[in-house]
Chain A
Amino acid sequence: MKVILRNPRREVDVAGNRRVKDILRELDIIPETVLVICGDDLVTADQVVRDGDTIELRPVMSGGSVSSR
Protein backbone atom coordinates (compact mmCIF):
# COMPACT_ATOMS: atom_id res chain seq x y z
CA MET A 1 0.00 0.00 0.00
CA LYS A 2 1.03 3.63 -0.53
CA VAL A 3 1.58 6.26 2.13
CA ILE A 4 1.71 9.92 1.10
CA LEU A 5 3.86 12.11 3.31
CA ARG A 6 4.07 15.91 3.24
CA ASN A 7 6.64 18.66 3.71
CA PRO A 8 8.16 17.65 1.37
CA ARG A 9 5.54 15.63 -0.46
CA ARG A 10 6.68 12.05 -1.12
CA GLU A 11 5.30 8.53 -1.29
CA VAL A 12 6.50 5.37 0.43
CA ASP A 13 5.33 1.77 0.04
CA VAL A 14 4.61 -0.25 3.16
CA ALA A 15 2.92 -3.57 3.88
CA GLY A 16 -0.88 -3.29 4.17
CA ASN A 17 -3.59 -5.35 5.87
CA ARG A 18 -2.76 -3.96 9.29
CA ARG A 19 -3.84 -1.19 11.61
CA VAL A 20 -2.99 2.44 11.04
CA LYS A 21 -1.21 2.60 14.41
CA ASP A 22 1.18 -0.18 13.27
CA ILE A 23 2.05 1.75 10.10
CA LEU A 24 2.66 4.93 12.10
CA ARG A 25 4.93 3.02 14.46
CA GLU A 26 6.92 1.58 11.55
CA LEU A 27 7.38 5.07 10.11
CA ASP A 28 8.24 6.48 13.59
CA ILE A 29 5.41 9.02 13.42
CA ILE A 30 3.65 10.18 16.59
CA PRO A 31 -0.12 9.76 16.03
CA GLU A 32 -0.79 13.14 17.67
CA THR A 33 1.17 14.94 14.93
CA VAL A 34 -0.79 13.80 11.86
CA LEU A 35 -4.23 13.39 10.38
CA VAL A 36 -4.64 10.04 8.66
CA ILE A 37 -6.68 10.49 5.50
CA CYS A 38 -7.99 7.69 3.29
CA GLY A 39 -9.85 9.05 0.25
CA ASP A 40 -12.28 11.68 1.57
CA ASP A 41 -12.33 10.30 5.10
CA LEU A 42 -10.37 10.58 8.30
CA VAL A 43 -9.44 7.22 9.77
CA THR A 44 -8.67 6.27 13.36
CA ALA A 45 -5.56 4.47 14.55
CA ASP A 46 -7.32 1.14 15.08
CA GLN A 47 -8.62 0.96 11.51
CA VAL A 48 -7.13 -1.69 9.21
CA VAL A 49 -5.90 -0.50 5.81
CA ARG A 50 -5.75 -2.90 2.90
CA ASP A 51 -2.89 -3.60 0.54
CA GLY A 52 -4.36 -1.62 -2.36
CA ASP A 53 -5.23 1.46 -0.24
CA THR A 54 -3.50 4.82 -0.26
CA ILE A 55 -3.38 6.90 2.91
CA GLU A 56 -2.12 10.43 3.41
CA LEU A 57 -0.37 11.36 6.63
CA ARG A 58 -0.99 15.10 6.81
CA PRO A 59 1.12 16.91 9.39
CA VAL A 60 -0.77 19.15 11.78
CA MET A 61 2.16 20.97 13.33
CA SER A 62 2.67 24.58 12.38
CA GLY A 63 4.98 27.05 13.94
CA GLY A 64 7.50 29.77 13.74
CA SER A 65 6.26 32.95 15.32
CA VAL A 66 4.01 30.92 17.56
CA SER A 67 3.23 33.64 20.03
CA SER A 68 1.75 35.83 17.36
CA ARG A 69 0.17 33.65 14.76
Chain B
Amino acid sequence: MKCRKCGDAAVIELRRHNAAFCAPDFLEFFRNQVREAIRKHRMFTRDETVLVAVSGGKDSLALWDVLIDEGYRTTGLYLDLGIFEYSVESKAKCEKFAAARGVPLIVSAVSDEIGAPVPVIKDVTRRPPCSGCGLSKRYLMNRVALEHEMPVVATGHNLDDEAATLFGSVMHWQTDALPRQSPALPSTHPKLVRRVKPLYRLSERETAAFAFLRKIDYIVEECPFAKGATSIAHKEILSRMEDASPGAKHNFLFGFLDRARPAFERAESVALNECARCGQVTTGTICAFCKLADQVKRRVVS
Protein backbone atom coordinates (compact mmCIF):
# COMPACT_ATOMS: atom_id res chain seq x y z
CA MET B 1 0.00 0.00 0.00
CA LYS B 2 1.38 3.42 -0.98
CA CYS B 3 1.05 6.84 0.60
CA ARG B 4 -1.52 8.92 -1.26
CA LYS B 5 0.64 12.03 -1.05
CA CYS B 6 4.21 10.91 -1.69
CA GLY B 7 4.00 7.30 -2.93
CA ASP B 8 6.24 5.90 -0.18
CA ALA B 9 5.22 2.81 1.78
CA ALA B 10 2.10 3.54 3.83
CA VAL B 11 1.88 2.82 7.56
CA ILE B 12 -1.85 3.40 7.92
CA GLU B 13 -4.88 3.00 5.72
CA LEU B 14 -7.89 5.28 6.27
CA ARG B 15 -10.69 3.50 4.46
CA ARG B 16 -13.24 6.21 5.16
CA HIS B 17 -11.03 8.66 3.26
CA ASN B 18 -10.11 6.04 0.64
CA ALA B 19 -6.49 6.86 1.42
CA ALA B 20 -3.29 5.56 2.97
CA PHE B 21 -0.40 7.62 4.36
CA CYS B 22 3.27 7.26 5.26
CA ALA B 23 4.18 8.36 8.79
CA PRO B 24 5.13 12.02 8.05
CA ASP B 25 2.11 12.59 5.81
CA PHE B 26 -0.23 10.96 8.31
CA LEU B 27 1.06 13.22 11.09
CA GLU B 28 0.42 16.23 8.86
CA PHE B 29 -3.05 14.95 7.94
CA PHE B 30 -3.80 14.58 11.67
CA ARG B 31 -2.62 18.09 12.54
CA ASN B 32 -4.62 19.51 9.63
CA GLN B 33 -7.78 17.91 10.99
CA VAL B 34 -7.16 19.49 14.41
CA ARG B 35 -6.43 22.89 12.80
CA GLU B 36 -9.67 22.64 10.82
CA ALA B 37 -11.69 21.79 13.95
CA ILE B 38 -10.22 24.75 15.87
CA ARG B 39 -10.76 27.11 12.93
CA LYS B 40 -14.28 26.00 12.01
CA HIS B 41 -15.64 26.25 15.55
CA ARG B 42 -13.42 29.15 16.68
CA MET B 43 -12.47 26.99 19.66
CA PHE B 44 -9.76 29.27 21.06
CA THR B 45 -7.16 31.82 20.09
CA ARG B 46 -3.44 32.06 20.65
CA ASP B 47 -4.05 34.75 23.25
CA GLU B 48 -5.98 32.40 25.50
CA THR B 49 -4.66 29.72 27.86
CA VAL B 50 -6.30 26.41 27.13
CA LEU B 51 -6.85 23.98 29.98
CA VAL B 52 -6.26 20.54 28.44
CA ALA B 53 -7.91 17.74 30.42
CA VAL B 54 -5.51 14.80 30.31
CA SER B 55 -6.09 11.24 31.47
CA GLY B 56 -2.78 9.62 30.47
CA GLY B 57 -4.55 7.96 27.53
CA LYS B 58 -3.77 8.30 23.84
CA ASP B 59 -6.44 10.87 22.96
CA SER B 60 -5.79 13.56 25.53
CA LEU B 61 -1.99 13.30 25.30
CA ALA B 62 -2.14 13.36 21.46
CA LEU B 63 -4.29 16.49 21.71
CA TRP B 64 -1.91 18.17 24.12
CA ASP B 65 1.03 17.25 21.88
CA VAL B 66 -0.59 18.87 18.83
CA LEU B 67 -1.59 22.04 20.70
CA ILE B 68 1.91 22.48 22.13
CA ASP B 69 3.45 21.98 18.68
CA GLU B 70 1.01 24.45 17.18
CA GLY B 71 2.22 27.07 19.64
CA TYR B 72 -0.91 27.35 21.79
CA ARG B 73 -0.58 28.34 25.42
CA THR B 74 -1.71 25.29 27.39
CA THR B 75 -1.93 23.94 30.92
CA GLY B 76 -2.74 20.30 31.59
CA LEU B 77 -5.26 19.13 34.16
CA TYR B 78 -5.04 15.61 35.52
CA LEU B 79 -7.91 14.49 37.74
CA ASP B 80 -6.78 11.70 40.03
CA LEU B 81 -9.78 9.38 40.25
CA GLY B 82 -8.14 7.07 42.81
CA ILE B 83 -8.76 3.95 40.69
CA PHE B 84 -6.01 1.77 42.15
CA GLU B 85 -2.90 1.07 40.05
CA TYR B 86 -4.62 2.44 36.92
CA SER B 87 -4.68 5.97 38.38
CA VAL B 88 -1.11 5.70 39.72
CA GLU B 89 0.17 4.75 36.28
CA SER B 90 -1.92 7.24 34.29
CA LYS B 91 -0.88 10.11 36.57
CA ALA B 92 2.79 9.16 36.10
CA LYS B 93 2.33 9.22 32.31
CA CYS B 94 0.88 12.74 32.45
CA GLU B 95 3.60 14.02 34.76
CA LYS B 96 6.30 12.54 32.52
CA PHE B 97 4.71 14.06 29.41
CA ALA B 98 4.45 17.52 31.00
CA ALA B 99 7.99 17.43 32.41
CA ALA B 100 9.51 16.36 29.08
CA ARG B 101 7.85 19.29 27.29
CA GLY B 102 8.23 21.84 30.07
CA VAL B 103 4.52 22.60 30.28
CA PRO B 104 2.47 23.11 33.47
CA LEU B 105 0.25 20.35 34.84
CA ILE B 106 -2.37 20.78 37.53
CA VAL B 107 -3.22 17.65 39.53
CA SER B 108 -6.47 17.50 41.44
CA ALA B 109 -7.66 14.47 43.43
CA VAL B 110 -11.35 13.61 43.28
CA SER B 111 -11.16 12.19 46.81
CA ASP B 112 -9.99 15.59 48.15
CA GLU B 113 -12.95 17.30 46.52
CA ILE B 114 -15.76 14.85 47.14
CA GLY B 115 -14.57 12.88 50.15
CA ALA B 116 -13.86 9.55 48.48
CA PRO B 117 -12.23 8.10 45.34
CA VAL B 118 -14.27 6.78 42.39
CA PRO B 119 -14.34 3.12 43.59
CA VAL B 120 -16.00 4.25 46.86
CA ILE B 121 -18.36 6.62 45.03
CA LYS B 122 -19.41 3.65 42.87
CA ASP B 123 -20.29 1.58 45.96
CA VAL B 124 -22.03 4.44 47.72
CA THR B 125 -24.25 5.51 44.85
CA ARG B 126 -24.84 2.03 43.40
CA ARG B 127 -24.81 3.68 40.01
CA PRO B 128 -22.46 2.67 37.17
CA PRO B 129 -18.96 3.91 38.09
CA CYS B 130 -18.74 5.97 34.88
CA SER B 131 -21.76 8.01 36.03
CA GLY B 132 -20.23 9.53 39.19
CA CYS B 133 -16.84 9.71 37.49
CA GLY B 134 -18.17 11.68 34.51
CA LEU B 135 -20.14 14.05 36.73
CA SER B 136 -17.08 14.73 38.93
CA LYS B 137 -14.82 15.30 35.92
CA ARG B 138 -17.17 17.79 34.24
CA TYR B 139 -17.61 19.71 37.50
CA LEU B 140 -13.92 19.81 38.43
CA MET B 141 -12.72 20.70 34.92
CA ASN B 142 -14.96 23.76 34.93
CA ARG B 143 -14.09 24.77 38.49
CA VAL B 144 -10.33 24.44 38.00
CA ALA B 145 -10.54 26.48 34.77
CA LEU B 146 -12.44 29.23 36.60
CA GLU B 147 -10.04 29.23 39.55
CA HIS B 148 -7.08 29.66 37.19
CA GLU B 149 -8.90 32.18 34.97
CA MET B 150 -8.77 30.01 31.87
CA PRO B 151 -11.70 30.57 29.49
CA VAL B 152 -11.75 27.17 27.82
CA VAL B 153 -11.32 23.45 28.56
CA ALA B 154 -10.22 21.13 25.74
CA THR B 155 -10.88 17.40 26.01
CA GLY B 156 -9.63 14.50 23.92
CA HIS B 157 -13.01 13.29 22.67
CA ASN B 158 -12.62 11.74 19.24
CA LEU B 159 -15.00 10.82 16.42
CA ASP B 160 -15.74 7.40 17.95
CA ASP B 161 -16.53 8.91 21.36
CA GLU B 162 -18.88 11.41 19.81
CA ALA B 163 -20.57 8.88 17.52
CA ALA B 164 -21.05 6.47 20.47
CA THR B 165 -22.55 9.22 22.65
CA LEU B 166 -24.88 10.23 19.83
CA PHE B 167 -25.84 6.59 19.26
CA GLY B 168 -26.68 6.21 22.97
CA SER B 169 -28.74 9.40 23.02
CA VAL B 170 -30.66 8.43 19.89
CA MET B 171 -31.27 4.88 21.13
CA HIS B 172 -33.08 6.37 24.13
CA TRP B 173 -34.33 9.47 22.32
CA GLN B 174 -32.75 11.73 24.92
CA THR B 175 -33.79 14.84 23.06
CA ASP B 176 -32.54 17.09 25.86
CA ALA B 177 -29.01 15.67 25.41
CA LEU B 178 -28.89 16.13 21.63
CA PRO B 179 -28.51 19.93 21.51
CA ARG B 180 -25.65 19.68 24.02
CA GLN B 181 -23.67 17.37 21.76
CA SER B 182 -21.30 19.65 19.93
CA PRO B 183 -17.57 19.98 19.19
CA ALA B 184 -17.69 23.37 20.91
CA LEU B 185 -20.01 24.36 23.73
CA PRO B 186 -20.11 28.10 24.37
CA SER B 187 -20.10 29.70 27.78
CA THR B 188 -23.74 30.33 28.68
CA HIS B 189 -23.06 31.69 32.17
CA PRO B 190 -20.20 33.72 33.68
CA LYS B 191 -19.25 30.68 35.76
CA LEU B 192 -19.26 28.22 32.85
CA VAL B 193 -16.15 28.06 30.68
CA ARG B 194 -16.22 26.98 27.03
CA ARG B 195 -15.74 23.27 26.36
CA VAL B 196 -14.16 22.14 23.09
CA LYS B 197 -13.22 18.85 21.43
CA PRO B 198 -10.53 19.50 18.82
CA LEU B 199 -10.17 15.76 17.96
CA TYR B 200 -13.80 15.24 16.95
CA ARG B 201 -12.84 14.87 13.27
CA LEU B 202 -10.40 12.02 14.01
CA SER B 203 -11.17 8.39 14.78
CA GLU B 204 -9.92 6.53 17.80
CA ARG B 205 -7.60 4.47 15.60
CA GLU B 206 -6.17 7.65 14.12
CA THR B 207 -5.42 9.15 17.53
CA ALA B 208 -3.81 5.86 18.61
CA ALA B 209 -1.67 5.84 15.45
CA PHE B 210 -0.68 9.47 16.02
CA ALA B 211 0.33 8.75 19.63
CA PHE B 212 2.32 5.68 18.55
CA LEU B 213 4.12 7.47 15.72
CA ARG B 214 4.90 10.44 17.98
CA LYS B 215 6.27 7.97 20.56
CA ILE B 216 3.93 9.31 23.21
CA ASP B 217 4.06 7.09 26.28
CA TYR B 218 0.36 6.61 27.02
CA ILE B 219 -1.54 4.14 29.16
CA VAL B 220 -2.69 1.29 26.93
CA GLU B 221 -4.53 -0.60 29.66
CA GLU B 222 -8.19 0.23 29.94
CA CYS B 223 -9.81 1.67 33.06
CA PRO B 224 -10.89 -1.38 35.10
CA PHE B 225 -14.38 0.06 35.43
CA ALA B 226 -14.86 0.53 31.68
CA LYS B 227 -15.36 -3.20 31.15
CA GLY B 228 -19.00 -3.78 30.28
CA ALA B 229 -19.71 -0.04 29.91
CA THR B 230 -22.59 0.72 27.56
CA SER B 231 -20.45 3.17 25.61
CA ILE B 232 -18.01 0.37 24.76
CA ALA B 233 -20.87 -1.81 23.51
CA HIS B 234 -22.05 1.07 21.33
CA LYS B 235 -18.54 1.57 19.96
CA GLU B 236 -18.34 -2.11 19.04
CA ILE B 237 -21.64 -1.92 17.16
CA LEU B 238 -20.49 1.20 15.31
CA SER B 239 -17.12 -0.36 14.49
CA ARG B 240 -18.86 -3.33 12.87
CA MET B 241 -20.93 -0.90 10.81
CA GLU B 242 -17.77 1.00 9.90
CA ASP B 243 -16.07 -2.22 8.83
CA ALA B 244 -18.98 -3.06 6.53
CA SER B 245 -19.39 0.50 5.28
CA PRO B 246 -16.34 2.78 5.69
CA GLY B 247 -17.40 6.29 6.61
CA ALA B 248 -20.53 5.17 8.48
CA LYS B 249 -19.44 6.74 11.80
CA HIS B 250 -18.35 9.95 10.13
CA ASN B 251 -21.63 10.25 8.22
CA PHE B 252 -23.66 9.50 11.34
CA LEU B 253 -21.95 12.19 13.44
CA PHE B 254 -21.39 14.85 10.82
CA GLY B 255 -24.87 14.39 9.37
CA PHE B 256 -26.26 15.00 12.85
CA LEU B 257 -24.09 18.06 13.46
CA ASP B 258 -24.79 19.62 10.07
CA ARG B 259 -28.44 18.76 9.56
CA ALA B 260 -30.23 17.27 12.56
CA ARG B 261 -28.82 19.05 15.62
CA PRO B 262 -30.39 22.44 14.85
CA ALA B 263 -33.82 20.77 14.88
CA PHE B 264 -33.31 19.68 18.48
CA GLU B 265 -32.14 23.00 19.81
CA ARG B 266 -34.60 24.22 22.33
CA ALA B 267 -36.60 27.33 21.59
CA GLU B 268 -36.27 28.41 25.19
CA SER B 269 -33.01 28.18 27.05
CA VAL B 270 -32.86 26.52 30.45
CA ALA B 271 -32.57 28.87 33.44
CA LEU B 272 -29.14 28.58 35.06
CA ASN B 273 -28.61 29.28 38.76
CA GLU B 274 -25.64 29.21 41.09
CA CYS B 275 -25.48 26.32 43.54
CA ALA B 276 -26.40 27.50 47.06
CA ARG B 277 -23.55 25.40 48.44
CA CYS B 278 -20.54 25.82 46.13
CA GLY B 279 -21.56 28.62 43.78
CA GLN B 280 -21.07 26.58 40.60
CA VAL B 281 -23.69 26.56 37.88
CA THR B 282 -26.75 24.32 38.17
CA THR B 283 -30.29 24.16 36.88
CA GLY B 284 -31.57 23.53 40.43
CA THR B 285 -30.76 24.90 43.87
CA ILE B 286 -27.99 22.46 44.84
CA CYS B 287 -25.74 21.14 42.06
CA ALA B 288 -25.38 17.43 41.24
CA PHE B 289 -21.75 17.40 42.46
CA CYS B 290 -22.69 18.72 45.92
CA LYS B 291 -25.56 16.20 46.13
CA LEU B 292 -23.13 13.42 45.26
CA ALA B 293 -20.65 14.70 47.87
CA ASP B 294 -23.46 14.69 50.49
CA GLN B 295 -24.36 11.14 49.56
CA VAL B 296 -20.74 10.03 49.85
CA LYS B 297 -20.36 11.80 53.20
CA ARG B 298 -23.50 10.19 54.68
CA ARG B 299 -22.56 6.67 53.59
CA VAL B 300 -18.87 6.90 54.45
CA VAL B 301 -19.63 8.28 57.94
CA SER B 302 -22.35 5.70 58.63
A residues with a Cβ closer than 8 A to B are 6-7, 30-35, 37, 41-47, 58-69
Contact = CB atoms under 8 A, between A and B. Distances in A.
Q: Is the interface of B mostly helix, strand, loop or mixed?
A: helix
Contacts of B204: 60-62
B57 interface: yes
Contact of A30 (B20, B156, B208, B243): B243
B57 A62 contact: yes
Contacts of A41: 11
Contacts, number: 114
B130 A65 contact: yes
Contacts of A44: 1, 10-13, 20
B133 interface: yes
Interface of B: 1, 10-13, 20, 23, 53, 55, 57-60, 129-131, 133-135, 137-138, 155-157, 160-161, 164-165, 203-205, 207-209, 212-213, 220-223, 225-226, 229, 231-232, 235-236, 239-240, 242-243
B231 A42 contact: no
Nearest to A61: B235
A31 B12 CA distance: 11
A39 B229 CA distance: 32
A32 B208 contact: no
A63 B155 contact: no
A68 B138 contact: yes
A66 B161 contact: yes
21 contacts: A7-B220, A41-B11, A42-B213, A44-B20, A47-B1, A59-B220, A61-B160, A62-B59, A63-B161, A63-B164, A63-B222, A63-B231, A64-B134, A64-B223, A64-B229, A64-B231, A65-B131, A65-B134, A66-B164, A69-B137, A69-B157
